[in-house]
């Protein structure tokens, strides 16, 4: 195996590159006006709720510094929660607490934090430490997602999420992200999470990578990744497809998590989805985009779009 792949070959494979993504897809299909809707998780959440999609329930929002002091009261009612910056990205500033006793707050790796730690983290979020461009931000406190039993052995200390790329409303490619010890319980690929390519038709694993290189087993649990199969896959595809009408973005990354009790939930939307999904699926995005661009009439309801995808993109 050589060190690099020739540009010609990449083009043959229909691989979407960063420059082309930025110019032709992000600027081409995503109206800048709409970015704040997806860059602000709180707005996305409200939008999704009014569109009738399930989202992780909101415990509270901390908007001003003085509210930080009373955060203890807010957290009392919750035995598990997640604090995140509303305008964060790439897993930055996300604090998951899976248990607490009003004195110590436990991270998934059982590291204990004090209430002061939580407060400091929250004021960092408010000051814009984790948000795009350092702008002041809000801290969202969310219901902790309990992941589905079927994935218990596939993820190390974190909730796996499912990323689906939606082009003009058609879900075209999917990937599951499993956190690892290396990724510190977060499911962000560049931090070392495992990306599992999911066949868009069946919801079964097709390929897997870590650090952009193929893997067969989960590095921490040793589970065979090719056994992964997502229950109720068409439901997820439908959810992803509906995000198009909801957000108006033509090139969209939809992040979905599977909650053990409430089923699939929309975690966040992304107007600048990354390109690693192509490696996880061992397949370029461009051919699928082209197939959709070639359609004469793309104005169909979400179910029909999912139908079309499942008919055309069979593995």
Partner 1 sequence: MQQKIPFYLLVILLICLGLGSAVYRHINLEIPWLPGETREVWSVEARVEFTALGEPVIAQMAIPETQQGFTLLEQSTASPGFGLSYLTEENIPAVRWSTQDAAGKQVLYYRAQFLLDAQQQRPWPDAPQVLAAPILSETTALVAERLIEQARLQSADQITMAAQLLNILQSDDQQVQLLLQDRSVEEAAMLLMQLAAIPARQVTALRLKNSRRNQDSRAYLMVYDTVHDVETEDQRVAFFNLATGKEGRPQRLLIWELGDRPLIDLEGGRNTRISFSMQRDVAPVQQALEQKYADVSAMQISLHSLPLEEQKLFRGLLLIPVGVMMVMLMRVLVGLRTSGTFMPVLIALALMQTALGAGLAGFVLLVVSGLVVRSYLSRLNLLLVARISAVIIIVILLTATFSVLAYNLRIVEGLNIIFFPMIIIAWTIERMSLLWEEEGGGEVMKQGGGSLLVALLAYVVMSNQYVQHLTFNFPGLQLVLLALVLLLGSYTGYRLIELFRFNALHGRNRNAAK
Ligand X SMILES: Nc1ncnc2c1ncn2[C@@H]1O[C@H](COP(=O)(O)OP(=O)(O)O)[C@@H](O)[C@H]1O
- 3-class DSSP state for residue 209? strand
Provide the 8-state DSSP code for 113: E
- How many residues of this chain interact with ligand X, rule: CB under 6 A? 23
Give the burial class of 107: count Cβ atoms within 10 A of its Cβ; 0-12 exposed, 13-18 middle, 19 or more buried. Answer: middle
For residue 61, list its beta bridge partners.
Answer: 140
Q: Which stretch binds ligand X (CB under 6 A): 116-124, 179-187, 232-240, 291-299?
A: 179-187
Kindly state whether residue 76 participates in binding partner 1, applying the rule CB under 8 A.
no
Kindly state whether residue 112 participates in binding partner 1, applying the rule CB under 8 A.
no
| Placement of tokens 């060190």 in the chain | 3
Dihedral, CA of residue 294, residue 297, residue 298 and residue 302, to nearest 10: -130
Determine which residue in the list 60, 91, 171, 253 makes contact with ligand X, applying CB under 6 A. Answer: 91
Residues 281 and 173 sit within 8 Å (Cβ to Cβ): yes
Interatomic CA distance for residues 243 and 169, integer angstroms: 8
Determine which residue in the list 47, 144, 165, 209 makes contact with partner 1, applying CB under 8 A. Answer: 209
Interatomic CA distance for residues 49 and 266, integer angstroms: 10
Site string for ligand X, 41-80 (x = CB under 6 A): ---------------x------------------------
Kindly state whether residue 96 participates in binding ligand X, applying the rule CB under 6 A.
yes
Q: Which stretch binds partner 1 (CB under 8 A): 11-19, 47-55, 162-170, 259-267?
A: 11-19
Kindly state whether residue 136 participates in binding ligand X, applying the rule CB under 6 A.
no
Interatomic CA distance for residues 42 and 20, integer angstroms: 30
Kindly state whether residue 124 participates in binding partner 1, applying the rule CB under 8 A.
yes
Kindly state whether residue 67 participates in binding partner 1, applying the rule CB under 8 A.
no
Determine which residue in the list 17, 219, 235, 248 makes contact with partner 1, applying CB under 8 A. Answer: 17
* Residue number closest to Mg ion, CB atom: 255
Residues 136 and 126 sit within 8 Å (Cβ to Cβ): yes
Which of partner 1, ligand X, Mg ion, none does 172 bind, CB closer than 5 to 8 A by kind? none
Kindly state whether residue 142 participates in binding ligand X, applying the rule CB under 6 A.
yes
Taking the complex as a whole, the smallest distance from the CB of residue 307 to ligand X amounts, in Å, to 28
Closer CB to ligand X, 57 or 232, in the complex:
57
Instruction: Centre a 10 Å sphere on the Cβ of residue 152 and count the other Cβ atoms it contains.
Output: 11
- 3-class DSSP state for residue 163? strand
Determine which residue in the list 237, 278, 286, 306 makes contact with partner 1, applying CB under 8 A. Answer: 278
Interatomic CA distance for residues 26 and 274, integer angstroms: 11
Helices and strands per DSSP (H, E), number in the chain: 12, 14
Query: In the structure encoding, which two tokens stand for residue 148, read together?
Result: 């589905």
Residues that bind partner 1 (CB under 8 A): 1-7, 9-10, 12-13, 15, 17-20, 23-24, 65, 92, 116, 120, 123-124, 127-129, 134, 191, 209, 212-214, 278-279, 282-284, 314-315
Residues that bind Mg ion (CB under 5 A): 255
């Amino acid at each position: 195996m050589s060190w690099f792949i020739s540009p010609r070959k990449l083009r043959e494979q229909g691989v979407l590159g960063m420059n082309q993504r930025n110019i032709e897809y992000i600027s081409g299909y995503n109206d800048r006006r709409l970015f704040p809707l997806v860059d602000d998780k709180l707005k996305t959440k409200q939008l999704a709720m009014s569109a009738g999609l399930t989202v992780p329930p909101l415990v509270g929002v901390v908007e001003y510094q003085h509210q930080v002091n009373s955060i203890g009261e807010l957290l009392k009612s919750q035995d598990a929660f997640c604090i995140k910056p509303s305008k964060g990205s790439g897993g930055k500033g996300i604090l998951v607490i899976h248990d607490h006793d009003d004195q110590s707050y436990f991270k998934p790796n059982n590291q204990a934090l004090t209430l002061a730690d939580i407060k400091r983290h929250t004021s960092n979020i408010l000051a814009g430490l984790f948000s795009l461009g350092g702008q002041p931000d809000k801290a969202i406190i969310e219901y902790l997602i309990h992941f589905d039993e079927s994935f218990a052995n596939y993820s190390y200390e974190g909730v796996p999420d499912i990323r689906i790329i939606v082009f003009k409303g058609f879900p075209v490619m999917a990937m599951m992200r499993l956190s690892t010890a290396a990724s510190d319980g977060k499911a962000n690929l560049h931090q070392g999470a495992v990306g599992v390519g999911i066949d868009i038709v069946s919801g079964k694993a097709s390929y897997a990578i870590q650090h952009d290189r193929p893997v067969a087993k989960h590095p921490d649990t040793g589970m065979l990744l090719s056994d992964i199969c997502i229950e109720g896959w068409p439901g997820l595809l439908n959810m992803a497809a509906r995000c198009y009408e909801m957000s108006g973005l033509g090139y969209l990354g939809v992040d979905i998590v599977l909650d053990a009790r409430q089923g699939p939930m929309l975690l966040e939307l992304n107007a600048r989805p990354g390109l690693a999904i192509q490696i996880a699926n061992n397949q370029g995005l461009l051919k699928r985009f082209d197939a959709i661009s070639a359609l004469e009439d793309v104005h169909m309801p979400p179910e029909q779009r999912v139908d079309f995808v499942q008919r055309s993109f069979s593995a």
